[in-house]
Amino acid sequence: MTEKAIIKVFIADDHAIVREGLKQILAETRDIVVAGEAESGLDAIKLFRKSDCQVVLLDISLPDRNGIEVLKQIKKEKPELAVLMLSMHREDQYAIRALKAGAAGYLTKQSAPKELVNAIRQVGGGLKYISPALAQELANHVGEDHEVPLHDTLSDREYQTLTMIASGKTVGMIAKELSLSVKTVSEYRARLLVKMKLKNSAELTHYAIKNQLIE
């Protein structure tokens, strides 16, 4: 019987406990090894360049950079590299955006260990991975004649600002969490209000709840 090729994985997540949990899960496999790790977007970009990994497990919510921005940078430098996005967010919130940006797959952190291992093997073999639930969601929309939702016109950072404001966070709190200036976050807020034809944060929150963009 032919032995499986080893898949080298790089983990980028700002929570040490998550990284350790992922490493424990992957330590139980014979064909997947962890080749490196990072706790921020900037570190991920610097360190993956030195790594000979085939798959990157990338958290979508990093403290210094949006995960999708990091994804785009990785794909720009190494388009052949498979990036599997990990997130606390429901698939319908970020999955399509991540896949359009070049991700090979998308998994929520609530996924079972077996699903994670299967996803890594699949994207490591050059295929895409989406969960059965997301596949069904996509199938439900095939052939539908509908306009693009306003929130799909937002940039990744504007979309992130939208979901954070709708979750009750102030501009100051968002600036601190994303390591940005209050002025920059205020500009994102102003731009997304214009794009979405909304007047204030209350209308923005109502829109997010109505369109199930937040829990």
| Residues in CB range of 18: below 8 A, 6 or more apart | 59, 109
| Residues in CB range of 80: below 8 A, 6 or more apart | none
Kindly state whether residues 26 and 65 are assigned to the same domain: yes
User: Do the bridges between strand 7-12 and strand 82-87 make them parallel or antiparallel, or are there none, so unpaired?
Assistant: unpaired
Kindly state whether residues 48 and 130 are assigned to the same domain: yes
Q: How many domains does the chain have?
A: 2
Residue 1 within any structural domain of the chain:
no
pLDDT value for 150: 81
Kindly state whether residues 104 and 196 are assigned to the same domain: no
Question: For residue range 28-80, what is the model confidence (pLDDT) as tens digits?
Answer: 999 999 999 999 988 988 888 888 899 999 998 887 888 888 999 999 999 99
Residue 63 within any structural domain of the chain:
yes
Kindly state whether residues 156 and 136 are assigned to the same domain: no
* Residue 152: strand, helix, or coil: helix
Question: For residue range 161-177, what is the model confidence (pLDDT) as tens digits?
Answer: 999 999 999 999 999 98
Kindly state whether residues 18 and 71 are assigned to the same domain: yes
Domain boundary pick from 78, 110, 140: 140
pLDDT(199) > 90: no
**Structural domain range at position 199:** 150-210
pLDDT value for 85: 93
Q: What's 26's domain CATH number?
A: 3.40.50.2300
Question: For residue range 82-98, what is the model confidence (pLDDT) as tens digits?
Answer: 999 998 876 666 788 88
- pLDDT, the chain, mean: 86
Residue 180 within any structural domain of the chain:
yes
pLDDT value for 110: 84
Q: What's 176's domain CATH number?
A: 1.10.10.10
Kindly state whether residues 84 and 135 are assigned to the same domain: yes
Kindly state whether residues 159 and 181 are assigned to the same domain: yes
**In this structure, are residues 94 and 152 in contact, taking their beta carbons and an 8 Å threshold?**
no
% of the chain at pLDDT higher than 90: 44
% of the chain at pLDDT higher than 70: 91
pLDDT band of residue 115 (cuts 50, 70, 90) is very high
pLDDT value for 149: 77
pLDDT value for 111: 84
pLDDT(147) > 70: no
Residue whose entry in the numeric block shows the structure tokens 């693009």? 148
Stretch 150-165: mean pLDDT: 87
Kindly state whether residues 156 and 133 are assigned to the same domain: no
Run of H or E residues at 37: strand 32-38
pLDDT band of residue 134 (cuts 50, 70, 90) is confident
Domain boundary pick from 96, 116, 140: 140
Q: What are phi and psi of 116, to 5 degrees?
A: -60, -50
**In this structure, are residues 209 and 166 in contact, taking their beta carbons and an 8 Å threshold?**
yes
Domain boundary pick from 115, 140, 165: 140
pLDDT(2) > 50: no
**In this structure, are residues 73 and 50 in contact, taking their beta carbons and an 8 Å threshold?**
no
**In this structure, are residues 212 and 206 in contact, taking their beta carbons and an 8 Å threshold?**
no
Stretch 119-134: mean pLDDT: 89
Amino acid (1-letter code) at residue 46: K
pLDDT(145) > 60: no
pLDDT value for 143: 56
**In this structure, are residues 10 and 56 in contact, taking their beta carbons and an 8 Å threshold?**
yes
pLDDT value for 213: 84
Of 1, 80, 69, 5, residue with least CA distance to 41: 69
